[in-house]
Amino acid sequence: MQKTFSKFSYYYIATTLLIVGVIVKFFLVDTDLGARFKDFNHRILASDILFLFATFLAIMGFIFNAIRKNRKTTLNDSTIIISAILIIPISLVLALTPILETIYPGKVGDSVLASLIMGLATIGTFAVFAWIILFVVIIIKQTFRILTIKTGK
């Protein structure tokens, strides 16, 4: 179970975000995640951000699977699961904002909802920074192992 989840965790998250993006695009309020209050250009909407983030996560899943297929690497299943867990808070923020904007139009920036979204966004920001550090360490460590370890035949 752990091996299956670690192999497809990024794809699970990306697929979920794609489904939420389609729901937001066709059935919910597709806002620009607060930019409408600041006179920004209204070209990138919440569904577009969800689609881009889902594509990014699918590419990251492909990179992790490519690293794991090499026999010289020592990438653990738990490392991939931890890195996927670090992505979940920012994914929740991106997915929940259009849903809450549909349920409570114009009130996402007010009181309790703002505290919820800002709390998740803060946790998500720190989690993304931790994920970036973990990803860089994984890439450097595994690249070093691939380049330096010789396998005997």
pLDDT at res. 1: 61
Q: What is the pLDDT of residue 29?
A: 65
The Cα 41–Cα 116 span in angstroms is 26
Strand boundaries in 14-75, DSSP class E: none
* 52: exposed, middle or buried (Cβ count in 10 Å: 0-12, 13-18, 19+): middle
Mean pLDDT by 10 residues, the chain (153 residues): 71 84 76 52 71 87 80 74 80 77 67 70 83 85 79 56
Looking at residue 43, its pLDDT comes to 63
Cβ neighbours, 10 Å, residue 63: 14
**Predicted pLDDT at 108:** 59
pLDDT at site 31: 63
